[in-house]
Copies of this chain bind each other. A is one copy, B any other.
Amino acid sequence: MVEQFEVVTRGQGLFEFTEQVRKVVSHSGVSEGLCTLFMCHTSASMTIQENADPSARKDLEHWLSRLVKEDDPLYTHTCEGSDDMPAHIKAALTATSLSIPIINGRLVLGTWQGIFCWEHRYGNHRRKVAVHIGG
């Protein structure tokens, strides 16, 4: 089964969408299987990270944005704005697809694991995610 949904983002950072995935898993009726997420964009990505303390998410965003600078004189792909080429690099360094096993109808996420869309561009976006649930 494949479904698609959107994750709303509001600027650079991590936006949790664990609940949206849980709903698809629950709706699928699959008891034991695999849930695979795919981000249909090259300037946003995904990560599974600490879901308890928001400071960890902020530090992740700030650390990566310091590593992958805007307006780096190395860039030649500059026509789409200062945040565009860094967004492609950040997406390449993080996850475009993620697979999570399902046991007893539930994702086997650890206690502190949440699923996040990592938005690498400014502004508000609606990011398309495709979800495959297999037995």
Seen from chain A, the residues whose Cβ lies within 8 Å of a Cβ on chain B are: 1-2, 4, 32-34, 36, 38, 40-42, 47-50, 53, 55-56, 58-60, 62-64, 66-68, 72, 74-77, 79, 85, 88-89, 91-103, 108-110, 112-113, 128, 130-132, 134-135
Contacts and interface: CB of A to CB of B under 8 A. Distances in A.
A111 B28 CA distance: 27
A2 B32 contact: yes
Q: Number of copies of this chain in the oligomer? A: 3
A108 B65 CA distance: 28
B63 A68 contact: yes
A108 B38 contact: yes
A39 to B, nearest CB: 9
